[in-house]
């Protein structure tokens, strides 16, 4: 009870659900976690030859979508001014301090 | 309504297939349907003891298929409910003693005499499961709210969906409301979201399942069994009735009080 209030462990049902969602994607597509890891390493190697990326935070996963499953890769790109990405501002609001 | 072969299966063992078959058979027969429960778990027969008919077996499924006995000789009529019959599995044979074609032929023959043929499938995804699946017009997948059971159910659902058969329906067994409230057991919505098939019933964890199996008197025959009541609701849904799903289908306060005072 206290450990949950302190955020140390999620209720086990939530853990069970997350584990199931991950393992079922592997079962349904016959793509193992190991295969995904190998794929991720190769993707990093290829992309890093062209672009400077944040290799620590690359994520490669299989996610269900309405048509079946899709391979999703999230590859953060390093920029020289990472703390202030160039996103378009709405309403011409003044830049944040 | 045309005769139907309903196969009760699960993938994982010990989740309640035999319990569901026996209780649904009784509930359907109580509602005036002619029902045969067919034990397809060759080598590990259990439906006979759960139904309390183990002392009356002379011939079995394999005897019929190998033409040592007529179907009539192997069918055991339940004395409690004259509309209910059991076709027992062979105990000393292997699952490979029969094949899918023979199962289809046998069930076609049973369909001329019965409204419902309930097939109790063995665990697993091999030969015995395929035999049980082959004749099915409808498939019920029994699952308990545990990671391994849900995972195996997903596998079974995939195998059923790969056939021409209609999508299977789900029986959620051994649900424990208090654990679910504490967030320590997968709840109905979680399991349905993950498996993405239609629900046909929710059966609570209930000690009357164990005591009634001890006596060979399935829980549906008892007055104050929450699990028995849940199986009756499933039987009514199989008969086409619209029976609303209660929140967790908990036993009514009255039933719980009655249980309390009987202790
Ligand atoms: N709702 C329930 N509440 C309490 N106990 C239950 C419930 N459902 C099943 N059980 C118990 O779980 C055990 C396994 O049930 P059962 O034999 O029906 O499973 P099964 O799926 O047929 O197993 P197998 O795969 O070995 O054929 C039995 O001891 C039974 O009494
Ligand atoms: Mg069984």
Tell me, what's the pLDDT at B147? Answer: 97
pLDDT of A2 strictly over 50: no
- Listed by start position, the domains of chain B span 4-262
Please give the residue of chain A at the shortest CA–CA distance from B194: A21
Structure tokens, A94 = 């003044």
Could you tell me the distance, in angstroms and rounded to a whole number, from the CA of residue B174 to the centre of ligand 2?
15
Say whether residue A12 is in contact with chain B using an 8 A CB cutoff: yes
User: Stretch B112-118: mean pLDDT, rounded?
Assistant: 98
pLDDT band of residue B60 (cuts 50, 70, 90) is very high
The rounded mean pLDDT for chain B is 94
pLDDT band of residue A84 (cuts 50, 70, 90) is low
| Model confidence pLDDT, tens digit, residues B170-188 | 999 999 999 999 999 999 9
pLDDT band of residue A62 (cuts 50, 70, 90) is confident
Burial class (CB in 10 A: 0-12, 13-18, 19+), B210: exposed
pLDDT of B149 strictly over 60: yes
B4-262 is classed in which CATH architecture?
3-Layer(aba) Sandwich (3.40)
Tell me, what's the pLDDT at A67? Answer: 77
Tell me, what's the pLDDT at B263? Answer: 46
Whole-structure pTM value: 0.85
pLDDT of A95 strictly over 60: no
Please give the residue of chain B at the shortest CA–CA distance from A66: B196
- Residues in B 45-104 with any Cβ partner in A closer than 8 A: none
- Where is pLDDT greater, at B261 or B149? B149
Q: What is the Cα–Cα distance from B88 to B63, expressed in whole angstroms? A: 10
Give the one of A13, A27, A28 whose C-beta lies nearest to B186's C-beta: A13
The verdict on a CB contact (< 8 Å) between A13 and B150 is no
The verdict on a CB contact (< 8 Å) between A13 and B155 is no
Tell me, what's the pLDDT at A8? Answer: 56
The verdict on a CB contact (< 8 Å) between A13 and B183 is yes
B36 CA: distance to closest CA in chain A (Å)? 35
Please give the residue of chain B at the shortest CA–CA distance from A23: B151
The verdict on a CB contact (< 8 Å) between A27 and B185 is no
Tell me, what's the pLDDT at A20? Answer: 94
Ligand 1 pocket: which of B8, B16, B41, B250 to mutate (most atoms <8 Å of CB)?
B16
| Model confidence pLDDT, tens digit, residues B2-57 | 999 999 999 999 999 999 999 999 999 999 999 999 999 999 999 999 999 999 99
pLDDT band of residue A87 (cuts 50, 70, 90) is low
- Number of CB atoms found within 10 A of residue A78's CB: 10
- Listed by start position, the domains of chain A span 10-80
């Amino acid at each position: 009870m206290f450990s949950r209030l302190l955020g140390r462990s999620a209720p086990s049902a939530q853990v069970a659900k997350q584990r199931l969602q991950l393992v079922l994607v592997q079962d349904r597509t016959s793509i193992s976690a190991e295969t995904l890891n190998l794929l991720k390493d190769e993707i990093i190697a290829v992309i890093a030859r062209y672009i400077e990326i944040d290799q620590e935070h690359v994520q490669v996963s299989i996610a269900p979508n309405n048509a079946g499953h899709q391979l999703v890769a999230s590859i953060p790109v390093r920029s020289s001014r990472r703390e202030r990405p160039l996103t378009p501002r709405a309403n011409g609001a003044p830049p944040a301090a | 309504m045309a005769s139907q072969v309903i196969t009760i299966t699960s993938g994982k063992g010990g989740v309640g297939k035999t319990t569901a078959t026996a209780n649904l058979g009784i509930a359907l027969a109580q509602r005036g349907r002619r029902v045969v429960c067919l034990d397809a778990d060759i080598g590990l027969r259990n439906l006979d003891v759960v139904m309390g008919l183990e002392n009356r077996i002379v011939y079995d499924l394999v005897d019929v298929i190998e033409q040592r006995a007529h179907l009539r000789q192997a069918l055991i009529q339940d004395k409690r409910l004259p509309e209910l019959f059991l076709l027992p599995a062979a105990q000393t044979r292997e699952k490979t003693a029969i094949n899918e074609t023979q199962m289809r032929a046998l069930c076609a023959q049973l369909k001329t005499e019965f409204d419902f043929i309930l097939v109790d499938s063995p665990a697993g995804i091999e030969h015995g499961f395929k035999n049980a699946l082959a004749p099915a017009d409808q498939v019920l997948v029994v699952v308990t709210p545990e990671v391994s059971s849900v995972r195996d159910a997903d596998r079974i659902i995939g195998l059923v969906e790969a056939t021409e058969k209609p999508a299977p329906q789900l029986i959620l067994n051994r649900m424990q409301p208090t654990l679910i409230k504490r967030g320590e057991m997968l709840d109905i919505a979680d399991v349905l979201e993950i498996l993405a098939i239609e629900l046909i019933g929710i059966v609570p964890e209930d000690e009357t399942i164990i005591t009634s199996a001890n006596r060979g008197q399935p829980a549906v025959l008892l007055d104050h069994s929450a699990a028995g009541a849940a199986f009756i609701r499933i039987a009514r849904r199989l008969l086409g009735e619209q029976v609303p799903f209660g929140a967790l289908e908990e036993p009514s306060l009255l039933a719980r009080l009655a249980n309390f005072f009987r202790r």
